[in-house]
Structure 1
Amino acid sequence: MDALDAPGFTLRQLSFLVCAADEGTVAGAAARLHVSSSAVSDALSELERALDAQLTVRRRARGLTLTTTGAEVVARARALLADARELEASLRGEPGELVGPITIGCYPTLAPTVLPPLLQRFGRAHPRVELDILEATHDRLEGRLESGQVDVAFVYDTLVPGQPRRARLFSLPAHVVVAADDPLADDGSVRLEELAERDLILLDAPPSSEHTLSLFAARGLTPRIRHRVQSYEAVRTLVGRGLGYGILVQRPANDASYEGYRVVMLEIAPAVPPVGVDVIWPATREPAERTRALIDFARSLPWPEAAR
């Protein structure tokens, strides 16, 4: 084939394949793309004919799965589509202007600390960059950086899926949270041995839960878990009501729960190793110019004071 000959498939067909792979069904892809199921099915069939290869196995009751060849085509299609979007974005902006979307992944408990200063200041500096947010725990981020669904993510340094590139933003040691009227509230610090027989409100979202339990395990202790919740503020709310203590990393300026009950932070004695907060991005490809600018901007901020 001559270098100038057009391929026998279209970017539209590739985008339909990628969407169907992400959704797992033709119907799901059709709903997301706002087209009919038959349009998606026809596009997939036309793409398979153009490539002379079976890319998917479609069963009405079981949805859609990729063949080995299909998985390879999807991976390469994501790169082609990303390049096409970059070309389109580059032509929409003035010389030197950053234009286009960035999808930011963020661990939920980091979102209130990391996202506000980042979105406000970077967004103000680059108004034509579209910043989309995906809050997800580390396990749910797995594969999304490599696939191109997420451009950059802000996560704790433990249990980061895959082998992304990374840069450290800041580090904080975990602390204990108790109600303001707890007998320990005025002590300033507390030993984990003093807490082992008390009720723990566990933030049960990886890697936070594993980190909390590892702190006790390192001292030969097993905490008594009363409630498991998946929200940072749910921990603070239950603690504020006196239902137990919590162990958290982020340190909000507000010392009250959603309900207005005051909570107190206590340092852990002896000190525990700090937890790093990293910005990560795919190692498999160079980030777009706007994504690189966001990474550099995040690294330039005076964390964690940037949230103040």
Structure 2
Amino acid sequence: MRMIDPELLRTFLAFAEGGSLARAAEAVNRSPSAVTAQMQRLEAQVGEPLLAPAGRGRSLTPTGEEFVAHARRILDAHRDAWLSLKGARADGRVVLGSTQDFADTTLPALLRRFARSHPRVRLDLRIGRTKELTAAYEQGQIDILLAMRQTSSADELLILREAMIWLSSEHRMTSANTDLALAVLDPPCGFRTAAISTLEAINRPFRIAATSPSLSGLRAAVLSGIAITVRTDRFLGTGIVPAPRQLDLPALPIAEFSLRLRLNAEQVSVDLAALLADELPRLPTGA
């Protein structure tokens, strides 16, 4: 029976999720030529073409599309076995700091998976705003940080780029003929800055209709229908939808989040950070 190198599968999934060899190369931290060579090796092991020419790039063949699910299952089993062997006897404490964007969406499933493989490890969660979490991380109070990216850093394991979108209540539409009512977090906030600067750039009249220090307060303001806001699609669901097209809102920049691991962190922190780095790019963001 042929054995498939997990690294080849990771690169293949990076291509399937990114849609190009260049994005796959960035995701796995290899050159495009190295990624091409890996795909050729994988095709040789599978015995079928997985990628086909498509214009100037490549696309998945029907076999490649079918193989995506198999690759994910193989890597999931590989990851679970690796974590279980390393974590069964591990103990200690991990302090994870995260913004609520992730705590409300993808983190619970990943933490449940980590807890199964590391049953003796104590997990301390700190959910909050990027500024406060980053300060605590830099003071050595947090082992792993998942928050909005401030600057490039040598301890970054992963950078997630997600589109900012305008969001509103599904029950009420703000009129396009009045000053646009905004709900925003208290400063400093990258989403607040993006919303205001984007509107100012096109001279679109607006007013701050609601502010909050927390995402729960922001959600309440949007659900009430008094204002729209800017987040990523992680904020969708439970009555919050993309803002209606008739508002004719301008395009927004990309939000960047980073996963950072404290230098000289304990092995249990390294294990959890590795799981997050591998799985966060693969999981859906929306509710």
State yes or no: 1:290 paired with 2:268: yes
Aligned counterparts of 1:122 and 1:95: Cα–Cα separation in 2? 9
How many residue pairs get aligned? The number is 198
- State the TM-score, normalized to the length of structure 2: 0.58
User: CA RMSD for the aligned pairs?
Assistant: 3.2
- State the TM-score, normalized to the length of structure 1: 0.55
Provide closer, same or farther for how the CA distance between residues 103 and 196 of structure 1 changes in structure 2, counting only shifts above 3 A.
Answer: farther
Q: Which amino acid in the other structure matches residue 231 of structure 2? A: L
Provide closer, same or farther for how the CA distance between residues 131 and 241 of structure 1 changes in structure 2, counting only shifts above 3 A.
Answer: same
Provide closer, same or farther for how the CA distance between residues 212 and 246 of structure 1 changes in structure 2, counting only shifts above 3 A.
Answer: same
- Quick one: which of 258, 261, 265 aligns to 1:278? 258
Aligned counterparts of 1:221 and 1:290: Cα–Cα separation in 2? 50
Question: Which stretches in structure 2 are left out of the alignment for 5+ residues?
Answer: 1-84
Contact 1:137 1:205 in 2 (8 A): no
Question: SS in structure 2 opposite 1:113?
Answer: coil
Higher alpha-carbon Rg? 1
Aligned counterparts of 2:177 and 2:208: Cα–Cα separation in 1? 11
Residue number in structure 2 paired with 1:299:
277
Residue number in structure 2 paired with 1:154:
146
Q: Which amino acid in the other structure matches residue 209 of structure 1? A: R
1:156-196: CA deviation from partner (whole Å, max 9, x where unpaired): 12x35x945113353221222222243479xxxxxxxx588
Q: Which amino acid in the other structure matches residue 139 of structure 1? A: K
Residue number in structure 2 paired with 1:120:
112
Matches within 5 A, 1:255-270: 255-256=237-238, 262-266=239-243
Residue number in structure 2 paired with 1:177:
167
Question: SS in structure 2 opposite 1:202?
Answer: strand
Q: State the identity %.
A: 21
Aligned counterparts of 2:97 and 2:270: Cα–Cα separation in 1? 15
1:206-231: CA deviation from partner (whole Å, max 9, x where unpaired): 32323332332444446310111122
- Measured after TM superposition, the shift of residue 136 of structure 1 is 2.7
Aligned counterparts of 2:112 and 2:87: Cα–Cα separation in 1? 23
Q: Which amino acid in the other structure matches residue 275 of structure 1? A: A
Q: Which amino acid in the other structure matches residue 278 of structure 2? A: S
- Measured after TM superposition, the shift of residue 94 of structure 1 is 8.9
Provide closer, same or farther for how the CA distance between residues 101 and 184 of structure 1 changes in structure 2, counting only shifts above 3 A.
Answer: same
Contact 1:174 1:275 in 2 (8 A): yes
- Quick one: which of 109, 118, 123 aligns to 1:131? 123
Contact 2:159 2:259 in 1 (8 A): yes
Residue number in structure 1 paired with 2:224:
241
Provide closer, same or farther for how the CA distance between residues 181 and 114 of structure 1 changes in structure 2, counting only shifts above 3 A.
Answer: closer
